[in-house]
Structure formats: C-alpha cells, structure tokens
C-alpha cells in the first residue's frame, strides 16, 4: 500500500489532511473551513530512494482547521493509517491507484467530535505530492455526511536522498474540502 501524506496527511485524511467544508453549512449539513494544515510522521521512517527495502509503516497525522462557518469555528485533527504492506521513498514517489486508508478524528471547538474512516488517493496527471481525501463520517458530529477534499504535502530538505529516510512531512489544504 502506498503511504500518502497528509492528512489528516489527511484531514489527515486529511484534512488539515483537508479543510472541512460544505455548501450550506450547518450543524446537520456540514461546515465550511477556510484553512487547514499539519504534519504527518511515518513509523518507522521510510527508507531512502537508493534502498529497495520496504517497511511496514504507520502514518500518523495531526493538524488544525480554522475559519469555519456554521455550528463550529475550528478543530484539531488526528489521523492514523492501517499498517502498510510495505513502503519506501520510491513507493510514495510513484503514482498508484491503491488508496491509503486512514481513520481521522476531528475535535471541534465546541467539544463535539467527528470520526471519519477515509482514504487518500493520488490524482492522475497531477504532482505526486497532491492527493485527494474522501470518506463518510461514521460517528459524532455530521454522522453520515460525505467528506471530499484535496491537500498537498512537502518533504523536508534532503529527505529521501541517500542516507536520509523520510520520517515526517507537512501538509496543507488546497481549495475547499467538503463534508456534507
């Protein structure tokens, strides 16, 4: 499985892995947030581009959303992926159709939470560091609502070069992400 970032790396998913947004925001219908950003870590770190070794890693992300309209104004986001089948710097630099599954949790400024099983996907013919996040809120505020959005992630200087495994990336939302 290809490890995507974001989110959560992704709203994580995201989220800050994506900005949570919706047209016609409201408590039952969703919320529209102006910004989202955060970071994600790979545990263990992904081997550099010169390595053929793949590790079974877990992606963990954390971030914030802010400038929201409707019943919430901001939130903090965390995300955790399933253990990958094997990743390295080359595998995350190679476009794939296989999504990364991640569970996102948003704790809103009101104290309410939203749990979102989501997936991160590459966008065909777009930079490999830009991905989509999608899912359905399974519990909490906005339960049953659909999530969709886009984010971009950045690697630290020198990451993935020989002798420099990839341990952490930063991400930010691109445009609006929708939850409705």
167: left (phi over 0), alpha (psi -120 to 50) or beta: alpha
Residue 75 is predicted with a pLDDT of 92
pTM comes to 0.82
Per-block average pLDDT, block size 10, for the chain (180 residues)? Answer: 38 36 46 87 96 96 87 92 93 86 95 95 82 93 89 93 96 83
Within 8 A by CB and 6+ apart from 125, the residues are none
Residue 28 is predicted with a pLDDT of 54
């Amino acid at each position: 499985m290809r490890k995507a970032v974001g989110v959560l790396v992704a709203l994580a998913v995201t989220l800050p892995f994506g900005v949570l947004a919706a047209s016609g925001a409201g408590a039952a219908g969703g919320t529209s947030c102006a910004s989202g950003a955060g970071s994600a870590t790979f545990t263990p770190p992904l081997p550099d581009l010169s390595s053929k070794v793949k590790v079974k890693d877990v992606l963990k992300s954390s971030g914030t959303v802010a400038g929201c309209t409707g019943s919430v104004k901001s939130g903090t986001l965390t995300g955790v992926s399933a253990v990958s089948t094997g990743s390295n710097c080359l595998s995350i630099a190679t476009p794939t159709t296989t999504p990364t599954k991640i569970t996102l949790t948003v704790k809103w400024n009101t104290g309410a939470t939203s749990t979102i099983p989501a997936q991160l996907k590459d966008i065909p013919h777009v930079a490999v560091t830009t991905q989509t996040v999608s899912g359905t809120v399974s519990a909490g505020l906005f339960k049953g609502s659909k999530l969709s959005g886009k984010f971009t992630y950045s690697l630290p200087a020198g990451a993935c070069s020989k002798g420099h495994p990839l341990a952490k990336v930063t991400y930010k939302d691109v445009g609006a992400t929708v939850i409705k």
